[in-house]
Amino acid sequence: MLREQTRDGRSDSARDGRSGSGCHRPASTRRHDGRIQRLSSALTRRKLPIAFVRHVVSSMLVHGHNPLVLDPAEDLGEDRSTIVATRTGYDVYAAICREARRLPLYQREQAEQTAYSLLTREFSL
């Protein structure tokens, strides 16, 4: 199916801000995805394994600092970007400590040192 072109040569989807595939993400979602990406990059720069960092980010989003909370989206009644906006450095600290228990000893030590430096503000996100 052909898209209609406007006078300036852009298609309707380009004028609406969507890509050719029809996907459109709000700016707030892109900002929050960027924050998640910066967090992941900061943790991998501290020599933490990528798979571990993914688990930390997931745990931080789902549980925050309280592992007993199973679905924060139900509690907040909001979307993912609101959940990301409410997470703090302490939530990251708690997620790192919680997930570090599954690592081998030498990696666990590195992860816990990173968490401690985050808590004491020697390392900031």
What are the residue ranges spanned by the domains of the chain? 30-119
The burial class, CB within 10 Å (0-12 / 13-18 / 19+), for 93 is buried
Q: How do residues 46-96 score in pLDDT, each as one tens digit?
A: 999 999 999 999 888 888 888 776 655 555 445 667 777 788 889 999 999
This prediction's pTM: 0.68
The burial class, CB within 10 Å (0-12 / 13-18 / 19+), for 68 is exposed
Instruction: Count CB atoms within 10 A of the CB of residue 74.
Output: 9
| Spatial separation of the C-alpha atoms in residues 4 and 104, rounded to whole Å | 58
Q: How do residues 95-125 score in pLDDT, each as one tens digit?
A: 999 999 999 999 999 999 999 998 898 877 7
